[in-house]
Amino acid sequence: MARHYSIIDVVDKWNLWLDPRHVHGCSASEDLACISREVSIVNSLQGHFLVASPHLGDSNFYRTVILMVQHDEEGAFGVVLNRPSSETVADVWRTVSDDPCPSQDVVRIGGPVPGPPMVVHTSVQFSQLEILPGLFMASHRHMVSRVVSRQDAFLFFTGYAGWGARQLDDELDAGGWLHAPADADVVFGDVDEMWKRVVEGIGREILQTSLPGLPMTDDASWN
């Protein structure tokens, strides 16, 4: 069962969004651009799932699935997909906006680093950053408002997981993380089954890489 967070955890981070200095002293107009950098590297894990291995030893990421939003030479950031809060998007939205929000989905705690509320969604017209084909992110207030007022699929996050330059790469080299290409079906899938589903997928990928030609099925008893 996923760990649940209280409304206090959520609302405390909302103040960062209302403050134009909310991201490390950046102006409100910069939003995601201040967290992410448009500098690509050969081994970027943008658009991948990240799960902690037993070697990591960080309780913040125990049995979490992180969707990597950006990974370049200046650092990396992503959002934890399977840490729901105890409040719905509609409940929290009413505390900060008069705009309509019919969503009864829960707010996700995206990670231990305070940051502006962000949405992962499928509406290209409200995209500030493309995570993978057909999957986008936005943190600008106007775009978030438009996304949450629609019926299209989205996930709402407060907080994120962040790494400085080379920090994630060093942790990867030390065996702290496992990763695999992200899948939108999993992103919007069952929270309680997400970690198991991603880990099993990573296991199959490792076996296929190590033992090419080995037949694989979705039945774990055969793998």
Side-chain half-sphere exposure of 67, counting CA atoms within 13 A:
30
pLDDT at 207: 64
Cβ atoms of 109 and 127 within 8 Å: the answer is no
- The top-level CATH class assigned to 7-192 is alpha beta
For the segment 31-85, what is each residue's pLDDT rounded down to a tens digit?
A: 555 554 433 334 799 999 999 987 787 888 999 999 999 999 899 999 999 999 9
Q: pTM higher than 0.85 for the full model? A: no
- How far, in Å, CA of 89 to CA of 106, rounded? 6
Checking DSSP bridges between strand 106-109 and strand 118-121, what pairing results, if any? unpaired
Which residues in the chain come in under a pLDDT of 70? 1-42, 207-223
Please provide the DSSP assignment of 133-144 as one string. Answer: TTEEEE-SHHHH
- Reference 161, options 108, 90, 124; nearest CA is 108
Residue 90: φ, ψ to 5°: -60, -40
pLDDT of amino acid 32:
57
